[in-house]
Amino acid sequence: MTPTHNRVLVLNGPNLGRLGKRQPEIYGSTTHAELAEKCVEWGRELGLEVEVRQTNHEGAMLDWLNGAADEGNPVVLNAAAWTHYSYAIFDACAQLVAPLVEVHISDPHQRPEEFRHTSVVTPYAVEVVAGHGIDGYRMALEVIARS
């Protein structure tokens, strides 16, 4: 299945709606609204139609991933904390038919908490972009554009 009109979903998980307020020393000062604007702009430059969504509710994320699977849309996914333990996210990512790029603002492997060193998303990602701050989303969209 091919992507619908070069449509890409950028999906952000729990607490990412608090970007700019939450631990700026780790996640930077860019707000989620500013990130969404940048992703749309970067996508436009790459010939992609980008839609950015954020949720703190796992069921909503699962519905979005299932919809992306059904529509054949590529996904840039920052599953946040769900990255490390959600087998429901693991199963939803397994269904994707278009490229999936995993993105993290910080580098989970460089974080002191051991639980952050495991990802249930990585087995299904064509690439992982981590530790590049907000710019990692641009890099992830570039991967999608090349795919």
Going by the annotation, the residues of the binding site for substrate are: 78, 84, 91, 105-106, 116
Query: Residue positions in the annotated binding site?
Result: 78, 84, 91, 105-106, 116
Q: Where are the beta strands (DSSP E) in 61-107?
A: 75-78, 100-104
**Among 27, 32, 124, 137, the one annotated catalytic:** 27
**Among 5, 85, 104, 132, the one annotated catalytic:** 104
Q: Is 104 a catalytic residue?
A: yes
Q: Where are the beta strands (DSSP E) in the chain?
A: 7-12, 49-54, 75-78, 100-104, 127-130
The dihedral sign for the CA sequence 43, 140, 74, 84: negative
Q: Which residues contact 72 (CB under 8 A, 6 or more apart)?
A: 1, 2, 3, 4, 97, 98
Q: Is 109 a catalytic residue?
A: no
Residues with a catalytic annotation lie at 27, 104
